[in-house]
A and B are shown apart, each in its own frame.
Chain A
Amino acid sequence: MSLSLGSRRLTVESRPVPSRLVRFLAPTFSVALAFVIGALILVATGQDPLLAYTEMIRKGFVGRLALTGTLIIATPLIFTGLAAVVSFRMKVWNIGAEGQFILGAVASSGVGLWVGDQVGGPLGIVLMLVAGALAGALFAALAALPRAYLNTDEVISTLMLNFVALGIMNYLIFSSFSFWRDPGRATFPVGKFVEDVLFLPRMVGRLHVGLIIALAFTVVIWWALRYTKWGFELMVTGDSPRAALYSGMRVDRKILSVLMVSGALAGLGGGIEVGGVLHNLDPRALSLGVGFTGIVVAALARLSPFGVIPVAILVASFSNAAPGLQVLGIPSEIVILLEGILFLCIVAGEWFLRNAIRVERTAGPAGAEAPAS
């Protein structure tokens, strides 16, 4: 692809390895562009963008309350982001983190209600989280088994299963008198709360240890992808399923294990949201799109486990700042729009990582004949 402009010629060529500078500049420029577009929208609708942005930074990051709030919201995003990283690295597209997250929450709240205060705090919490991860893994298996053995497209099946999970959760709280629902509240259905001993311990303010677990799993996933046979085979299968097959790897089992690990991460995220924040099965708080956002978070992190953390925190700061904007008379919904624009801009900016634009001076002044070939 090339474009001639006077005596210059612009050539686009693919860049095998992006330089450090470009890897830094591309996303920075994209973020800046997103905020400029956001500012234009705010100005066009009669709002003050400077006020909105300072407030977003203030309410998202400045002070203990803002920071802990942001980190609490970031925690589930780190889990669903990691879930996407694991599967996308193998080019198996688990877009069912939303549903796996929900079922993780269903299972862990169920186990929490079931054990009550009978087994004590630490064991009870561990049981809840294990149940969450297990439920996520099994729910992912519903798509993974057909993918591995019938070659059923996992993009569609994982996507569809999200809504099955949502239906299950809504049914348990809104449409039945299930084990999960508080029988005392007939008019406004809510989930029963688990015992206080099953609350995840808190560190600072409302910030619970879920964040530490998320960071620990980030390290584990990074290590597993980089230093284990499992991670190596995952990469090879992702790059070339045929090469993996010919070298004797069991690709079907690989698909199964990767999708189930991915589901387990999302399910664990759901369990931690119940144990650390909600303490009951709350369909409204659990269907905010954490799974879908996690996929975009993973993509923006370029499928790097450690990259997921800062991106999740940035996205979380937006949500955390929303109520503060409303107080100033700026519709808090702007943060969702800004989030979307930011996603689109960064995704677009990735193009510069893969392609370079080279400016060449063509021989002679403008209008001169091109050199004979």
Chain B
Amino acid sequence: MNESVLLLSLASAVVIGTPILLAGLGEMMTEHSGVMNLGIEGMLLGGGVVGFWMSTQQASLPLAMAVGALVGALFALIHAYLAVTLRVNQIVSGLALVVTGTGFASFVGSLNDSSLIYARPVSKFEPVFGEAFRDLPVVGPLVLGHDWVVYMSWVLVAVAAFWLFRTRAGLALRAVGEDPATADTVGIPVGLTRYVYTMIGGAGAGMGGTYLMAGIFSTYQHGISAGLGWIAFALVIFAGWRPWRALVAAYVFGALRNLGFSLQILGVDIPPDVLNVFPFFLTIVALMVISARPAAARRFSAPSALTVPYARESR
């Protein structure tokens, strides 16, 4: 019986880890271009609430996810304009975006006497594989029991890893994030690159938010994200800006979210408030360990030009 509890909690770790992974992967691409967007929580809520609304209005779930991604990207566009074109402090702009996105979601959720809060998605995210596959021991619930969003996130991880480290476009992206002046010299459009990847980051957050509301909870509540956007931000650092590590770390963070419940069944009582702290605590420890060791710091540190605005004229 203990094994089945463990298995179930690992399977749900994959599910809750998925919005963290989608938002974190997006932020990772953004940060590789040298832009730090602290506004994930806002984009996740803002994009998610529109995606969720679509899912309650007869829209197919892929369409709802796409709309959520689009709205998230539009929120990110605001940050891109402020950070890239106007070159304002990215911390301030990102935090302002958190307030705007959160306010937007709460406002939309409260319109028409909070009808959105009582609305439910018209369809559910169904498992991709048949029951015969899902009943297989271990791999059934862990690997084959998920809906398409989980598998899409795996594909996105692979695409991101390939894109970043195996393609010319990825090289250009990293050049913009590491040394924009040099990238500019060889003809890479620094501003455009930063705009595009900042918006990709917003799209990831918007998808994550939509999946959270329309998929995992099937409902909208104010503050439903409960800091998931911040966990996604921590994920990028914890994963050392590497997509495959983000995949593993997202499920570790996901497991910590609902480990409390399964541990309780096993007779171990660790309160959820303590477990919720772990992703952030682990990230601080990882950060300190990495920054204390120069060899590790070279491999797993942030892009050099992260948060540094680029102005050709003041080169």
A interface list, Cβ under 8 A from B: 1, 14, 41, 45, 93, 95, 146, 150-153, 155-157, 159-164, 166-168, 170-171, 174-176, 289, 292-293, 295-296, 299, 331-341, 343-344, 347-348, 350-351
Interface residues of B in 95-144 (CB under 8 A from A): 95-104, 106-107, 109-111
Contacting pair A340 B96 (CB below 8 A): yes
The docked-state distance in angstroms from the alpha carbon of A275 to that of B49 is 38
Residue from the list A156, A162, A343 in contact with B99, Cβ < 8 A: A343
Give chain B nearest CB distance to A204 CB in angstroms. 30
Q: Kindly provide the distance from the CB of A61 to the nearest chain B CB, expressed in whole angstroms.
A: 21
B99 A146 Cβ-Cβ under 8 A: no
- Which of B's residues lie within 8 Å of A, judged by CB? 36, 38, 42, 78, 81-82, 86-89, 91-93, 95-104, 106-107, 109-111, 222, 227, 230, 233-234, 237, 271-274, 276-277, 279-281, 283-284, 287-288, 291-292, 302, 307, 313
A156, B107: Cβ atoms closer than 8 Å: no
User: What's the least CB distance linking A284 to chain B, in Å?
Assistant: 11
Q: Do residues A344 and B97 form an inter-chain contact, with CB atoms below 8 A?
A: yes
Q: Which single residue of chain A is at the shortest CB-CB distance from B100?
A: A340
What's the minimum C-beta distance from B203 to chain A, rounded to whole angstroms?
19
With both chains docked as a complex, state the minimum distance between the C-beta of A230 and any C-beta of chain B, in angstroms.
24
Q: Please, how many angstroms separate the alpha-carbon atoms of A170 and B287 in the complex?
A: 25
- Measured in the bound complex, the distance between the Cα atoms of B260 and A174 in whole Å is 14
Asked if residues B88 and A157 are in contact (CB atoms below 8 Å), the reply is: no
Q: Which 5 A-B pairs have the closest CB atoms?
A: A340-B100, A336-B103, A337-B103, A175-B271, A167-B277
Q: Is the CB of B273 within 8 A of A167?
A: yes
Q: Which residues of A contact B106 (CB under 8 A)?
A: 331, 333, 336-337
Residue of B nearest to A344 (CB): B96
In the assembly, what is the distance between CA of A205 and CA of B166, in Å?
Answer: 66
CB distance from B58 to the nearest CB of A (A): 21
Report whether A339 and B99 are in contact in the complex, using a CB–CB cutoff of 8 Å.
yes
A163 cross-chain contacts in B, Cβ below 8 A: 227, 230, 276-277, 279-280
Residue of B96, B222, B307 touching A347 (CB-CB under 8 A) = B96
Smallest CB-CB separation from B274: which chain A residue? A171
A351 — nearest CB in chain B belongs to which residue? B86
Least Cβ distance of B45 to chain A in Å?
11
Secondary structure at the B interface, as helix, strand, loop or mixed, is helix
A49 to B51, CA, bound (A): 27
Cα A335 to Cα B110 in complex, Å, equals 12
Q: Given contacts A167-B274, A336-B99, A347-B88, are A152 and B280 in contact (CB under 8 A)? A: no
Query: Are B287 and A171 touching (Cβ within 8 A)?
Result: no
Contact residue among B38, B233, B273 (Cβ-Cβ distance under 8 Å from A175) = B273
Return chain B residues, CB-CB under 8 Å to A335. 103
A350, B277: Cα distance in complex, Å:
36
- Residue of chain A at shortest CB distance from B301: A153
A-B contact pairs, 16 of them (CB 8 A): A95-B91, A146-B291, A152-B287, A160-B234, A167-B273, A170-B273, A170-B276, A175-B273, A292-B99, A296-B92, A331-B111, A334-B107, A336-B103, A337-B107, A341-B100, A344-B97
Cβ B78 vs Cβ A336 within 8 A: no
Tell me which of B104, B276, B302 contacts A340 (CB under 8 A): B104
B102: chain A residues at CB < 8 Å are 336, 340
Of A174, A335, A347, chain B has the most CB atoms within 10 Å of the CB of A347
CA distance A174 to B271 in the complex (A): 9
Q: How far is the CB of B191 from chain A (nearest CB, A)?
A: 11
Pick from A157, A337, A341: contact of B284, CB below 8 A: A157
Shortest distance in angstroms between B114's beta carbon and chain A's nearest beta carbon?
Answer: 8
Least CB separation from B110: chain A residue:
A331
* B280–A161 CB distance below 8 A: yes
Closest Cβ of chain A to B6, distance in Å, is 23
Known: A348-B88, A351-B88. A331 touches B107 (CB 8 A): yes
Tell me the bound Cα distance from A298 to B270 in angstroms: 38
| Chain B residues in 8 Å Cβ range of A164 | 277, 280-281, 284
The one of A155, A337, A344 in contact with B78, judged by C-beta atoms closer than 8 angstroms, is: A344
User: Contacts A331-B111, A340-B96, A344-B100; is A160 near B283 (CB within 8 Å)?
Assistant: yes
Pick from A153, A167, A299, A336: contact of B276, CB below 8 A.
Answer: A167
A347 touching B93 by the CB < 8 A rule? yes
Residues of A within 8 Å of B104, CB to CB, are 337, 340
Residue from the set B82, B95, B291, B307 with the largest chain A CB neighbour count within 10 Å? B95
Query: What's the Cα separation between A350 and B86 when bound, in Å?
Result: 9
Q: Are A293 and B99 in contact (CB under 8 A)?
A: yes
Contact, CB under 8 Å: B271 / A295: no
Known contacts A336-B106, A344-B78, A347-B82; is-contact A150 B288 (Cβ 8 Å): yes
Bound form: Cα–Cα A157–B288 in Å: 9
CB nearest to A336 among chain B residues? B103
- Distance A254 CA – B277 CA, assembled complex (angstroms): 30
Q: Identify B97's interface contact among A41, A150, A159, A340, CB under 8 A.
A: A340
Query: Are B99 and A296 closer than 8 Å at their CB atoms?
Result: yes
Bound CA span A212–B283, Å: 39
CB-defined contacts of B222 to chain A, threshold 8 Å: 333
**A167–chain B nearest beta-carbon distance, Å:** 3
In the complex, besides A163-B230, A167-B274, A340-B103, 17 extra interface pairs with C-beta distance below 8 angstroms are A150-B292, A152-B287, A152-B291, A156-B237, A156-B284, A161-B280, A167-B276, A171-B273, A175-B274, A176-B271, A292-B95, A295-B92, A331-B111, A333-B106, A333-B222, A336-B106, A343-B92
Q: Which residues of A contact B276 (CB under 8 A)?
A: 163, 167, 170
Cross-chain contact B284 with A161 (CB below 8 angstroms)? yes
A152-B288, A167-B274 given; A295·B283 CB < 8 A = no
Shortest A82–chain B CB gap in Å is 16
